[in-house]
Amino acid sequence: MRLPQNVDRDLSLPVARAIAQPLSIKETVNEHVIEKLLSTLTTKQVLLVLDNFEHLLDAAVLIGNLLSAAEGLKVLATTREALRLSGEYEYIVSPLPANAALLLFEEQARAAQADFALTPENTPAVIEICRRLDGLPLAVELAAAYARYWSPQIMLRKLEQRLPMLVGGARDLPVRQQTLRNTLDWSYDLLDETERSLLRRLCVFIGGFTLDAAIQVCNFEIAGEETRTVQAGVITQDQILSLQRKSLIYLREIAGGGRHFMLETIREYALERLQPSIEGKVARSRHLDYFSTFVQGAEDSFLSGQLPESAWLAVRANDYDNVNGALSWAFHPEQANSQAQKHGASLASAMKTFWYMQGHLSEGRGWLERALAFSKQRDTLRASILAGIGLMAWKQGEYSLARAHLEESQSLLRELGRIEERETAFVLHVFGHVRFDQNDYQAVQALFSESLAINQRLGNPIESMSLVGDLGLVAYHLGAYGEARLHFEKGLAHAHAQGSKEGIAVHLSRLGDLACLEGNFALARQLFEESLANCREINDVLDIASSLHKLGQVVRQQGDYERAQSFLLESVALQKAQGNRQGIVECLAGMAGLCVDVGHPDIAARLFGAAEALLRSSARRWPQLIKWFGTATRPTCTHHGIVKKPRTGGPKARLKGGFLF
């Protein structure tokens, strides 16, 4: 039954009367309606359906009494919040799965426009509409009604803001269900004032939040109409959990622990309520401050070996959207000359290692360049940002730019003295990689050794592990293969001790390089596959791409051209997506070698030429990359990339499904 929406404060009596009416139970002079209801229900088998009970929770005791007195009574209540009665079972009605939402949209769209049909052209737009509407049935129904006016593709473009569009529900529905905003107004009005404040403030989080983050960001009060003093508030964990009980936020277990989320539709509504106020500015400022401190603390703990790599990666990944949101607010023109810009710059600096490891080179460099514009003071922060830009530019093959930023960072750190040793060690390390790619191995050895000494003195095991392996890389390219193996095996042992999947993957890959050099391709393949598995586990995109490239080369040597093509294509796609010019060159060279093997010297020549052009533009030398092929399989090339002596020597090999390069 649909219960009354406007009742007296004492709800038991009107609710009892509402239940009695469809059962034809009448109140008498000698018997109160509740007593009459109790006596009647004790003799019947009844399923009592109570719709929208959330606004009548004060009458829950009455329902409990009825259930206790009548063994044959069962109650099914739809409610935003549980009744919290003994014997109550909660069933959470989740948003519609994607397929169900798609079918509901189609059904409702056809009711509005008889000839509507899902087609290959409009289905992707409908799927995205349902996703943006969080699979909420009312929202999907309201959106589908616009099929009489617009195609799904046009509808999707108009859904940038959901609430203004989702109106015009059926007239025979309650007013609160005729627009999505009315439905949300209904829920919002049932909250107390503290819960309303909390809901508004929680919308500054993007992609979820922990209880600790919510309390630290949202727990404030603004006192005084004129002074607008921000002081400690009264928000507690129980109030956050109250919003969960009322279905306005939800809990999800993910890597790193439980996190609360808010549906995007609800978040948009809360954001509208927050935006115009001083409350919104304070909430966003506290959100930025929290993540600036939190991310830097996690970075320090990770580099010192106190926080496991898996936990550090989970922290970064879980709050990636929150970090981007905080940076967007900090660097918005409205924050000109404010403390927010400095905190945003600090946050960007603390993210540089994660951006690098996850292959977000262009995105990370973009944020760091914006941060640099707001970091004019010659301090550690500016030096750190310069080093971060140098790191991204190096990996993107822009060596002159990388070198300029690293030199400025190094100069600034010299001015600041030994107090900034960790940042100095970082700059030396990155500088070493820049010089390495230009084959200046003596200089590289000195840079890596100096960086390693500083990191060991500071007790930074993660950077020390990496540098041990990097010194092995120098030995490898100087032809000291025995020394290189010792470094790689030592680095691998350190990586296992630290539980560093990234370190394990890198050192396995380098041991695979040695196995290739020895012609042991079976062992090399095993090492590269194990390296790839570790990289995929932590989504280390750059090393995934590198391992795929090396696997492509190994299986090519084993004559498995199909697999070689598959690995190389996947690798180059990742390299291209990250703007990693160095990786693209390596893949082009590998593809060219494969072309030689399958008897396509014309395609190989074009690929080698493209690789050489990229090398020239990045000042990286050609012999360094083609050295990897090995003398037994290395094609002979002219200066212009024209391939001679294809290895097959006979008919062209055919790849299953055609030659894709």
Segment (H or E) for 454: helix 441-458
Domain end among 184, 217, 245: 184
Residues 69 and 115 in one domain: no
One-letter identity of residue 647: R
For helices 137-144 and 98-112, give the axis angle rounded to 10 degrees. Answer: 40
CB contact at 8 A, 207 and 323? no
Closest alpha carbon to 186 in 18, 93, 14, 54: 54
Backbone dihedral angles phi then psi of residue 145, each to the nearest 5 degrees: -60, -20
Mean pLDDT of 488-492: 95
Domain boundary among 142, 169, 184: 184
| Within-domain flag for 277 | no
- List CB contacts of 393: < 8 A, sequence separation 6 or more: 365, 399, 401, 402, 405
If you search the block for the tokens 């990359």, which residue do you land on? 625
Alpha helices in 478-618 (DSSP H): 481-498, 501-517, 521-538, 541-557, 561-578, 581-597, 601-617
Per-residue HEC secondary structure of 155-168 comes to HHHHHHCCCCCCCC
Q: Is residue 1 one of the residues assigned to a domain? A: no
Look at residue 284 and tell me if it is in a domain.
no
CA–CA separation, 347 vs 349, rounded Å?
5
Most confident of 129-138, 292-301, 599-608, 646-655: 292-301
Are residues 106 and 37 both part of a single domain? no
Q: Is residue 648 in some structural domain?
A: yes
Q: Check: CB of residue 437 under 8 Å from CB of residue 399.
A: yes
Q: What residues contact 281, with CB distance under 8 A and at least 6 apart? A: none
Residue 102 lies in a domain: yes
Tokens of 193: 């004032």
Residue-level length of the chain: 661
Tens digits of residue pLDDT in 324-383: 999 999 998 887 667 899 999 999 999 999 999 888 999 999 999 999 999 988 899 999
Residue 252: helix, strand or coil by DSSP?
A: strand
Q: How far apart are CA 377 and CA 570, in angstroms?
A: 43
Q: What is the pTM of this model?
A: 0.75
> What confidence tens digit (pLDDT) does each residue in 63-98 have?
888 888 888 889 998 887 888 888 888 887 788 888
Report the SS3 class of residue 47. Answer: strand
Mean pLDDT of all residues in 141-147: 83
Q: Decide which of 502 and 138 is more confident.
A: 502
Q: Residue 7 in 3-state DSSP?
A: coil
Confidence bin at 256 (pLDDT 50/70/90)? low
What's the pLDDT score for residue 638? 37
236: confidence class by pLDDT, cuts 50, 70, 90: confident
Residue 62 sits in the same domain as residue 119: no
29 in the same domain as 114: no
Whether 315 maps to a domain, the answer reads: no
SS3 119: coil
| Least-confidence region, from 13-27, 67-81, 554-568 | 13-27
Position 492 scores a pLDDT of: 95
What is the reported pLDDT for 528?
A: 96
Q: Which two tokens stand for residue 497?
A: 């001790």
pLDDT at 649: 42
Question: pLDDT at position 507, please?
Answer: 95
Amino acid at 43: T
Q: Are 217 and 206 in contact (CB under 8 A)?
A: no
| 36 and 107 part of one domain | no
Answer left, alpha or beta for residue 417, where phi above 0 means left and psi between -120 and 50 means alpha: left
List beta partners, residue 444: none
Confidence of residue 577 (pLDDT cuts 50, 70, 90): confident
Q: How far apart are CA 451 and CA 443, in angstroms?
A: 12
pLDDT greater than 50 at residue 657: no
Same domain, 583 and 635: yes
Please state whether 228 falls in left (phi above 0), alpha (psi between -120 and 50) or beta. left
Residue 3, pLDDT score? 47
Q: Quick one: pLDDT at residue 287?
A: 96
| DSSP-derived 3-state class of residue 118 | coil
With respect to residue 157, please indicate whether it lies within any of the assigned structural domains.
yes
CA gap 426, 412 in Å, rounded:
14
- Is 75 in a helix, a strand, or coil? strand
Range of the domain at 143: 98-184
Same domain, 62 and 108: no
Structure tokens at 282: 């304070």
State how far the Cα of 285 lies from the Cα of 344, in Å rounded to an integer.
Answer: 10
Question: Which amino acid makes up residue 237?
Answer: Q
Does residue 109 sit in the same domain as residue 157?
yes
pLDDT the model gives residue 31:
64
Is position 372 within any domain? no
Domain count along the chain: 3
Question: Which whole-number Å values give the CA distances from 2 to 26, 48, 51, 56, 613, in the listed order?
Answer: 19, 11, 5, 12, 74
One domain for residues 49 and 127: no
Of 128, 162, 184, the position where a domain reaches its end is 184
pLDDT of residue 232: 61
C-alpha 385/C-alpha 348 separation (Å) is: 8
pLDDT confidence bin for 322, thresholds 50/70/90? very high
Q: Strand pairing of 636-637 and 643-644?
A: antiparallel
